[in-house]
Amino acid sequence: MPVGRAVEAPRAAGVAGLVFAVLFVASVVLLHRQPGAGSTAEEVRAWYLGENASRVGVVGLYLAPFAGIAFLWFMAVMRHHVSALEDRFFDTVLTGSGIVFIAMLFATAASAGSLVAAVKFRDAPIPGPEAVGVARSLAYTFFYVYALRAAAVFMVVASTIGRRSGGLPRWLALAGYALALVLLLSVSYAPLMALLFPAWVTAVSVVILVRSLGKGRSS
């Protein structure tokens, strides 16, 4: 029975990590397609009156919670490995950074999608460019300033756990350190920055799945 659990837990982390990466990228891309801070009143009105365009924004808003739930599952299995190492320091930092990341992800989605949700579901008037700019700036602040830095801390701790336990190859742990450093020090709002964390989670998930499948065949 313990062997079965040891195989199932990493596999669950791998699947949850892949689900998170897909939903996270989809949510960010869909929310990013809304009018930007420099849009004119005519562009904003045209986007909100376009039925398909506004639906895209709502879909992006509602995908974010499911991405957070998938990441919560991924984080829970990572904590299982920390407990096995009996290291409360890493357990605390991993849990704290993961929760902060999820909270900031939800705040980002709420800020970016609040206007389109109000128009679609509360019959609110179409916002002006100023309101759109404020909502966009708030979402960018939550995401690039806070969420990605919490993600960087999570990457550092998870990479350390993987390196110490042998659960991750050395190259992937080093890649986690390097990408985390970029996220911690960067002041850029470039869309590419948003893809670094899900790319790393995808790589970790693939490694976990491949190793768990290998253990399943050998048992």
Question: pLDDT tens digits for 97-130?
Answer: 999 999 999 999 999 888 888 888 888 888 888 8
Predicted confidence at residue 84, as pLDDT, reads: 60
Give the number of other Cβ atoms within 10 Å of residue 15's Cβ.
18
Average pLDDT over residues 191-204: 93
Predicted confidence at residue 86, as pLDDT, reads: 54
Predicted confidence at residue 100, as pLDDT, reads: 97
Task: State yes or no: pLDDT of 67 exceeds 50.
Answer: yes
Task: State yes or no: pLDDT of 177 exceeds 90.
Answer: yes
Closest CA to 167 of 209, 217, 218, 216: 209
> How far is CA 76 from its chain centroid?
15
Task: State yes or no: pLDDT of 5 exceeds 90.
Answer: no
Q: Tell me the residue type at 148.
A: L
Both tokens of 13, joined, read 């982390």
What residues have CB less than 8 Å from 118, skipping those under 6 apart? 124
Task: State yes or no: pLDDT of 17 exceeds 60.
Answer: yes
Using 50, 70 and 90 to split pLDDT, how confident is the model at 57? Answer: confident
Predicted confidence at residue 109, as pLDDT, reads: 93
Task: State yes or no: pLDDT of 3 exceeds 50.
Answer: no
Answer with the residue of higher pLDDT: 144 or 31.
144
Give the number of other Cβ atoms within 10 Å of residue 127's Cβ.
21
- Across the chain, what does the average pLDDT equal? 85
Upper half-sphere CA count for residue 116 (Cβ side, 13 Å) = 30
The answer to whether the beta carbons of residues 24 and 66 sit under 8 Å apart is no
Task: State yes or no: pLDDT of 171 exceeds 90.
Answer: yes
Using 50, 70 and 90 to split pLDDT, how confident is the model at 88? Answer: confident
Considering 55-64, 70-79, 145-154, 163-172, the range whose residues carry the highest mean pLDDT is 145-154
Altogether, the residues listed in the chain come to a count of 219
Give the number of other Cβ atoms within 10 Å of residue 10's Cβ.
22
Q: With 0.85 as the threshold, say if the pTM is over it.
A: yes
Average pLDDT over residues 26-32: 89
Predicted confidence at residue 54, as pLDDT, reads: 67
Helix (H, G, I), strand (E, B) or coil at 23: helix
